[in-house]
Structure 1
Amino acid sequence: MTRRHLALLLIDLQEIFVRPPPAVVEAAGELPGIHAVLERTVRLRERARDRGVPVLYTRHVFRPGLVDAPLAARDALRARALERGRPTAEIVAELAPSEEEAVVEKNRHDGFFGTDLAARLRELGVRRLVVAGVVTNLCVETTVRSAVQRDLDVTVAADCTSAPPQAHARSLAAMADAFAVVADSPSLLLGHS
């Protein structure tokens, strides 16, 4: 993979997913290995920045009152934590975007649905996308599938994603089968650590 026409997309690395409050942990658990995923993702992002590869972010967020949340999610504890303006909805400080880096706000699993992500990638001339983030079998896989429908070549940084173990493994296998190259971040041609 060359740097030309390449971008790094970081999906939903927000406080609620990385450092969920006790009530969320009790109700839904923590994402497995999330702190190691965060460390590896920080290194991956720094390699991308060092090589001039554009970095974009998605942030899953709902308007106050959850008026734009899916009906099935409106009562969910996590949905309330994703309301715009709540600290739990913010991208984690370790991955705070620079002023030049785009943050695409979304209210569905698909980072392209109802957003300007495709337009931003076109403006940058992106044809190849490296994807990292959470949750592997939800927002990551849905966005990867959507990216492929837009004729983007996608590589998933497997060690920079997280979900419950069985769902994580099934999702990575499904993406590798038909939608993306799946590799650990040090093997990506953004550079070795």
Structure 2
Amino acid sequence: MGELYGRGVAPWDDVLDETDRAVFTAAGWGRRAGFGTRPVIVVIDVNYNFCGDRPEPILDSISRWRYSCGPEAWTRGIPAIQRILAVGRRKRLPIVYTTNPRRPDGFDLGVWNDKSHRSADAVDIMGHRGNDVVHEVAPLDGDIFLEKRKPSAFFGTPLMSHLTNLKADSIILTGSTTSGCVRATAVDGISYDLKVTIPYEAVFDRSQLSHKVALMDVHMKYADVTDTDDVVHHLESLEAGLFDAVFPPAGRAATESGV
């Protein structure tokens, strides 16, 4: 339980007690499902709302960007996503981005808005910079860009339709927050019988406890949680151009990125 596929200590190891370890082991959970053969990279809500606009203490960032995950986004999450995107573009894989703008009156978020007393803050309304994907990992011409109104990237969006059209069998899931939109997307992904892999350095949360417990829970029952090196190694092993016949825009994005 403390090993992450023999590649070091699992990020949740320090929040799991011996009873929990025994329960998951006895029940047989946590077996690796494995990578798919036609993966699509998904970048969930790596926007200024969730990252802030610079590395700074999290409470300082939240004072200006109420959703911010603070320095976790900048020191660990974004660099890991950059590594994955670089090899993904070299292999001409489709890359899907999401962001989550709302109407100025918040109607389209429904009861989700009820959970924060700062829901009237204007940082997430349509047209606000907060909804822009941060420059360091911004989408390129040819990438797939989706707006969503609920946690899962699948709910109320054409994501599954796109994946079916691409003949994709798996997703590499990155972004924020680990316990919210990433977890919801992972659960929906396996519900559609996709293999889901989460490189733990490439997802982040405003709460470290939430981050660790969400990763543990998802890894035990739904998806594979591994590290960025493992994901990069797998992507490097793939033949370039797997999706060229069904998604030529991936080639344009790769050309634009200079790879």
Q: TM-score, normalised by structure 2?
A: 0.68
Distance change in 2, residues 1:73/1:151 (3 Å): same
How many aligned positions are there?
A: 192
Distance 1:28 1:156 in 2: 21
Q: Which residue of 2 aligns with 1:105?
A: 147
Shift of 1:130: 0.5
Q: Which residue of 1 aligns with 2:94?
A: 54
Distance 1:6 1:84 in 2: 30
- Tell me the amino acid that sits aligned with residue 70 of structure 1: G
Aligned-residue CA RMSD (Å): 2.3
What whole-Å deviation, never above 9, does each CA across 1:112-162 have from its counterpart, x for those lacking one?
111111101111111111000000000000010001100100001111011
Listed as ranges, the gaps of 5+ residues in structure 2 are: 1-33, 238-259
What whole-Å deviation, never above 9, does each CA across 1:19-62 have from its counterpart, x for those lacking one?
16987613666445211211111111111111122111111121
1:173 aligns with 2:216: yes
Checking the alignment, whether the CA contact within 8 Å between 1:3 and 1:53 is kept in structure 2 is no
Q: Which residue of 1 aligns with 2:73?
A: 34
- Tell me the amino acid that sits aligned with residue 181 of structure 1: D
- Structure having the larger proportion of residues in strand: 1
Determine helix, strand or coil for the equivalent of 2:109: coil
Matches within 5 A, 1:1-193: 4-19=37-52, 25-26=62-63, 30-35=69-74, 36-73=76-113, 76-77=118-119, 80-163=122-205, 164-188=207-231, 189-191=234-236
Larger radius of gyration: 2
Shift of 1:77: 4.4
Checking the alignment, whether the CA contact within 8 Å between 2:199 and 2:227 is kept in structure 1 is yes
Q: TM-score, normalised by structure 1?
A: 0.90
Distance 1:80 1:112 in 2: 25
Further displaced range: 134-143 or 156-165:
156-165
Shift of 1:92: 0.8
Shift of 1:76: 2.9
Checking the alignment, whether the CA contact within 8 Å between 2:52 and 2:70 is kept in structure 1 is no
Distance 2:126 2:81 in 1: 24
Q: Percent of aligned positions with the same letter in both sequences?
A: 21
